[in-house]
Amino acid sequence: MEVKHRFKKSTIFGICLIFSIIACQKKIKEQVKVIDDENSQFAGKSCYGSSIQNEFLLKWSDGSHSLLKGTKDDLNNFIKKQQESNKKRLVIVEQNRKFDFKMALKLQPEQTQSEIIPLGSFWEVWGQEDLQANELWDKNIKGAGVTIAVVDGGIDQTHPSLMNRIYINENEIPNNGIDDDNNGFIDDYKGFDFSSKTSQGEISDHGTHVAGIIAAEPKESPMLGIAPQSKILPLSIFGGEFGGSLETAVAALEYAKNRGIKIVNASWGGAACAELLRDAIISLAEKDILFINASGNNGVDIQFYPEYPAAFNLENQITVGANMQSGLMAAFSNYGYQQVHVLAPGHQILSTVPGGWDIGSGTSMAAPFVSGLAALLWSAHPESTSVQIKKAILQSVKDPQNYNPVLSMGRVNAVLALEKLELILKELPK
């Protein structure tokens, strides 16, 4: 059963936005913004998804978040207590919402189980060749020194092609049940699972497949990731009763922001157009972090049928649609001349899965191609900013004359992107 709320307005030194059951009976020290469908900046877009009953995501004045579980009366009482407290201020309250985190994946129906694809097969190379990644590899540009947070399902960290590519938190001692680095997370030695609230939860095909496209190394592998010397920070947000929620996504982004990464790969999305998710992505720009996400697989223009985070169209965001071997956009890919920026390989892509390798199609596969490309560019020119990396990728696409229905009208290319980035850096005032 979904919980719906209504707001009323009362004037007490300004507008006090509250749930209808919360009366503005006295002057309060600080205003708390309680977001619902009627007063959100996304009001009227019909993109809120399913609310999670009796769960509220709280944002505090220091930028941190927490989850309150309880009734609306519990929330009312909690807000009143916080207004009377001298501790950090509560700023925003938003209903926790479900995300359809698996919407951006289309596995091939004929693939019933994972299997090792023979070396030299067609599936090994087409995406990497389309990107011309090998020409940067030949220059020893392989993503070294760049860490990408894969905010997704759990990653098989024992996979032979991934085990050496996992980011390690050197300040944490693994499996001792202690928060050694005092960052609020126990045993986050190799990432964290924000659904189970443990160091590693359930392993998924999806997260492992995405990670392999970015960083798989050639050890015992029929394929090579786009940035095979980069590091992957596994941050799982799938699992549990709801699969994924606003709370797990925002918590993972907040964690990633403080881990020294350069890129977030988000191969997921849904109808929930939450302000707090948008704010969390924007806040990544404070650390010059690029947010790269899948456009979705419903074959629609997301300007008119928005899915999020794909349709946010933020300065530090690249939304990626999928192209096929022909170079044209895949029929399943969402598109849009404003919100979707580029195309990348996303049809019948070979990558890692637990226990082997498998073929999958979807914009989930396209986004990590761009994340890997961004890692290559950053490793070649560490002095670059996220704005420069994004500009180089968007302004160097291949075959824009095909008029694919995305902002750049073309598909990403590593050689052209590196040339464009070097031109951008050269033209900067000394």
Each residue's pLDDT tens digit, 104-118: 444 443 333 444 555
Each residue's pLDDT tens digit, 115-174: 455 544 444 579 999 999 999 999 999 999 999 999 999 999 999 999 999 999 999 999
Is residue 287 exposed (0-12), middle (13-18) or buried (19+ Cβ within 10 Å)?
middle
C-alpha 53/C-alpha 218 separation (Å) is: 46
pLDDT of residue 402: 76
AA identity, residue 376 = L
- For the chain, the structural domain boundaries read 7-97, 106-426
Each residue's pLDDT tens digit, 296-319: 999 999 999 888 899 999 999 999
pLDDT of residue 172: 95
DSSP assignment of 298-320: S-SBTTTS--BTGGG--TTEEEE
pLDDT of residue 403: 83
pLDDT of residue 430: 64
C-alpha 222/C-alpha 227 separation (Å) is: 15
pLDDT of residue 271: 74
Span 106-426 CATH architecture: 3-Layer(aba) Sandwich (3.40)
Q: What is the pTM of this model?
A: 0.87
pLDDT of residue 122: 41
Beta bridge partners of 183: none
pLDDT of residue 35: 82
Q: Are 368 and 210 in contact (CB under 8 A)?
A: yes
C-alpha 365/C-alpha 406 separation (Å) is: 17
C-alpha 264/C-alpha 282 separation (Å) is: 12
C-alpha 424/C-alpha 428 separation (Å) is: 7
pLDDT at 219 over 80: no
